Amino acid sequence: MRFSCLSPKAYLLGALVGLARFVFADCECGYSVNPTDERDHTLFTDILESDFTTLKDIRADKDWVLQEWKIDKSVSRGPYGRMTVPGNAISNPAKDLAVSDEGVLGREAGLELYVRKLQPGDQYVSIVEADSYRADMIYGSFRAGIKTTGISGTCGAFFWYLNDTQEIDIEFLSSQLNDTTSPVNLVLHSSLSKGGDASGTPTFKVIQLPFEADKAVHEYRFDWQPHRVSFYADGQWLTDMTEEEYIPSVPGKIILSHWSNGNKLWSGGPPIEDAFMLVQYVKAYFNTSSEERMKDYAVRCKNSSASNAICEVPDQNGPPIFGGNDPSQRPYFFSQDASKNKTVNQTYGKVESTNKNAATPLLAISGYAVLTMAILLAAILEVM
């Protein structure tokens, strides 16, 4: 063999380079969605994953920005204005997920998003909104584990957004929920929606869910492509929207929102008591409009056909379940994979994230790999 002619130093140096390549290979060319579906097989370059069952305080998480604004009733289009309050987002991390999903506050673990009941004389409903720091998301697969409130008079939403004419919504109206019906409202807002009302367009659909949305956490998902937006619940397809003139084609952000303005035609309410929507996680696999991020991708993706260079995003089949000894229904996070780094160079914006996705390639190398590389390096120096 040719390698028999190599010096010990050259051989070990080659091994060192090969090890580095092996360490960095996983997912460096992106994340594959619907790999068995020729119609919708898609590759996305970037990732954002937030596990709110382990997050101690969302205010310290740099992937999300809690909003603080106020609009009066004329802009809100209801009898009350709306006021976002960061304190209405309450983190409730799990005590011990190996045992159960009970949070430190004694309730199911996750992020609680509150709409507060009106106090005497209030003209604004106290609500909450959390926006992704990144606003460069263009096309992608977006997923969230949500249990909506059963208290009537709120709108809970998980959506992608640029403005009121570029929007993809999954919305829950708690006034629609009862023992026999559990609908979800799926909406694309576009310039063809008149006055922000999409109800008369083909991209407004009300789908009856096969479960009660306020009784347990379920995964809600939309896959956005140039020619189609597909919606899912617990991995099961709900509907497609294929009217391309309604489908957004610009970058934006994802938003978690829980609100009310008293409008009887939509949110209803306000609620007669404090009501919260529980969000246990958000996962997003998407392409970017950022030139910097596209350059990063070009640097890290050297060979898309290499083993594990592209990672398949697993579907959530059935309701997500956190806690306990059976992890079969627990959502999978690339950012939590203990075996390898699967979020190479996935930085978020200009600030450093507390999420593992912010790891740079050198920092992301496992301790075992570092030790092995150090041993090899020592051997190289010894034979020099």
* 161 falls within a domain: yes
CATH code, domain with 88: 2.60.120.200
Average pLDDT (360-382) is: 40
Whether 42 contacts 225, CB under 8 Å: yes
Is residue 343 predicted with pLDDT exceeding 80?
Answer: yes
Provide CB contacts within 8 A for 381, sequence distance 6+: none
Among 31-35, 102-106, 141-145, 319-323, where is mean pLDDT lowest? 31-35
* 31 falls within a domain: no
* 294 falls within a domain: no
Q: What angle do CA 77, 83, 86 make, to 5 degrees?
A: 145
Q: What angle do CA 142, 86, 162 make, to 5 degrees?
A: 40
Are both 281 and 375 inside the same structural domain?
Answer: no
Are both 140 and 164 inside the same structural domain?
Answer: yes
Q: Which of 288, 305, 325 lies at the terminal end of a domain, its last residue?
A: 288
Q: What is the pLDDT of residue 354?
A: 36
* 35 falls within a domain: no
Q: Which of 249, 266, 288 lies at the terminal end of a domain, its last residue?
A: 288
* 314 falls within a domain: no
Q: What is the pLDDT of residue 209?
A: 97
Average pLDDT (194-204) is: 75
Is residue 283 predicted with pLDDT exceeding 50?
Answer: yes
DSSP notation for 226-246: TTEEEEEETTEEEEEE--GGG
Are both 202 and 274 inside the same structural domain?
Answer: yes
What is the rounded CA–CA span in Å between residue 247 and residue 227? 7
Q: What is the pLDDT of residue 195?
A: 55
Are both 66 and 9 inside the same structural domain?
Answer: no
Q: What angle do CA 295, 341, 378 make, to 5 degrees?
A: 100
Are both 347 and 221 inside the same structural domain?
Answer: no
Confidence of residue 381 (pLDDT cuts 50, 70, 90): very low
pLDDT in tens, 95-124: 999 999 999 999 999 999 999 999 999 999
Are both 269 and 200 inside the same structural domain?
Answer: yes
Considering the chain, what percentage of its residues have pLDDT values greater than 90? 72
Is residue 376 predicted with pLDDT exceeding 60?
Answer: no
Are both 22 and 97 inside the same structural domain?
Answer: no
* 184 falls within a domain: yes
* 299 falls within a domain: no
Are both 191 and 274 inside the same structural domain?
Answer: yes
What is the rounded CA–CA span in Å between residue 73 and residue 378? 70
* 330 falls within a domain: no
Average pLDDT (287-313) is: 94
Are both 11 and 158 inside the same structural domain?
Answer: no
Among 1-10, 179-188, 199-208, 304-313, where is mean pLDDT lowest? 1-10
Q: What is the pLDDT of residue 143?
A: 98
Structural domains of the chain, count: 2
Q: What is the pLDDT of residue 199?
A: 77
> Is the preceding omega at residue 270 within 30 degrees of 0, hence cis?
yes
Q: What is the pLDDT of residue 356?
A: 39
Task: Quote the domain boundaries for residue 18.
Answer: 1-26+340-384
Are both 280 and 214 inside the same structural domain?
Answer: yes
Are both 240 and 270 inside the same structural domain?
Answer: yes
Average pLDDT (160-178) is: 94
Is residue 261 predicted with pLDDT exceeding 60?
Answer: yes
Q: What is the pLDDT of residue 39?
A: 61
Q: What is the pLDDT of residue 375?
A: 41
Whether 113 contacts 276, CB under 8 Å: yes
Q: What is the pLDDT of residue 349?
A: 38
**Tokens at residue 104, please?**
């430190």
Are both 81 and 10 inside the same structural domain?
Answer: no
Q: What is the pLDDT of residue 191?
A: 74
Among 135-144, 279-288, 340-349, where is mean pLDDT lowest? 340-349
Q: Which of 288, 304, 323 lies at the terminal end of a domain, its last residue?
A: 288
Is residue 14 predicted with pLDDT exceeding 50?
Answer: no
Confidence of residue 159 (pLDDT cuts 50, 70, 90): very high
Is residue 372 predicted with pLDDT exceeding 60?
Answer: no
Q: What is the mean pLDDT of the chain?
A: 85
Is residue 366 predicted with pLDDT exceeding 60?
Answer: no
Is residue 18 predicted with pLDDT exceeding 60?
Answer: no
Average pLDDT (330-347) is: 89
